[in-house]
């Protein structure tokens, strides 16, 4: 049988000898993982409900449910109110609390629930770039997100999570390091930096320090883009004009022009938010 695991069959002991695919019992040791996505979407939503509905009583549960069902139609002021709460990644907020609690609960449930054949499953928070696919099937959420919009990437804060719409690398790094699933699969940090940083005095040293600190805090993987914002925007406008531009999408790199429009937009949005 030909499956998506065909390459793995060639690099593992057992499948060739047994004539069995890795998914059909061909190997002796299994490494099974489940990856959760959209942590910031959920954490920010919980925090928004807690603050605006429970504490401040700005609206009722039923009013919120109706607004979500109608995708915030004619309620832009309420949507912005829900979105403007202190968000995951800001540091010391209720959204940060919810992100940690949700991540720990998710990890415990995955680790404590073996497969029907008794295999242990490792939890991770890794979206593989599918934030558009999952978001397109999800209705509006209490954090102010519209129906169909992408969900949050990996366990990273939403783009522009800091007051004023910014997204400082240090704040993002600290937030992602805090929600690692312990002895599980990875929870990557997505960093998108303008290449002008490398040309400033101490810029490279700052990036090195950030990487080392993230690892010391418990981080497990960093996906790093260092690229000119102007070049990226020009390539997004006309992908064929930059045929050799390579970007880090998520856990893999690719030629920018080879990506779908949605994936290109995802990379651009991250870069724009990082410099906000």
Tens digit of pLDDT at every position of the chain (276 positions): 455 567 888 888 898 899 988 878 888 888 888 999 999 999 999 999 999 999 999 999 999 999 999 999 999 999 999 999 999 999 899 999 999 999 999 999 999 999 998 888 999 998 877 888 899 999 999 999 999 999 998 899 988 787 766 678 899 999 999 999 877 788 999 888 888 887 887 888 999 999 999 999 999 999 998 888 899 999 999 999 999 999 988 878 899 999 988 889 888 888 877 665
Q: According to the model, what pLDDT value does residue 30 have?
A: 80
- Single pTM value for the model: 0.86
Distance CA 22, CA 3 (A): 9
> In three state form, how does the secondary structure of the chain look?
CCCCCHHHHHCCCCHHHHCCCHHHCCCCCCCEEEECCCHHHHHHHHHHHHHHHHHCCCCCHHHHHHHHHCCCCCCHHHHHHHHCCCCCCCCCCHHHHHHHHHHHHHHHHHHCCCCCCCCCEEEECCCCCCHHHHHHCCCCCCCCCCCCCCCCCCCCCCCCCCCCCCCCHHHHHHHHHHCCCCCCCCCCEEEEEEHHHHHCCCHHHHHHHHHHHHHHCCCCCEEEEEECHHHHHHHHHCHHHCCCCEEECCCCEEEHHHCCHHHHHHHHHHHHHHCC
């Amino acid at each position: 049988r030909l499956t998506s695991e065909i390459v793995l069959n060639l690099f593992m002991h057992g499948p060739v000898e047994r004539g069995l695919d890795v998914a059909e019992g061909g190997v002796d040791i299994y490494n099974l993982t489940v990856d959760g996505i959209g942590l910031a979407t959920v954490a920010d939503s919980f925090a928004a409900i807690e603050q605006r509905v429970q504490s401040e009583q700005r609206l009722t549960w039923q009013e919120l449910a109706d607004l979500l069902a109608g995708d915030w139609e004619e309620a832009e002021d309420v949507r912005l109110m829900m979105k403007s709460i202190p968000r995951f990644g800001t540091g010391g907020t209720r959204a940060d609390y919810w992100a940690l609690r949700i991540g720990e609960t998710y990890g415990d449930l995955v680790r404590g629930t073996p497969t029907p054949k008794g295999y242990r499953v490792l939890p991770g928070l890794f979206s593989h770039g599918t934030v558009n696919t999952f978001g397109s099937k999800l209705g509006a959420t209490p954090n102010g997100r519209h129906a169909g919009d992408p969900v949050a990437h990996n366990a990273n804060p939403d783009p522009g999570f800091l007051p004023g719409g910014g997204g400082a690398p240090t704040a993002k790094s600290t937030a992602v390091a805090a929600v690692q699933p312990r002895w599980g699969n990875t929870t990557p940090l997505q960093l998108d930096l303008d290449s002008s940083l490398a040309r400033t005095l101490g810029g490279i040293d700052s990036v090195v320090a950030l990487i080392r600190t993230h690892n010391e805090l418990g981080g497990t993987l960093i996906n790093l883009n260092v690229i000119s914002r102007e070049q990226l925007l020009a390539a997004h406008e006309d992908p064929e004009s930059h045929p050799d531009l390579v970007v880090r999408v998520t856990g893999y790199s690719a030629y920018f022009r080879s990506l779908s429009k949605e994936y290109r937009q995802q990379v651009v949005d991250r870069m724009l938010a990082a410099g906000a």
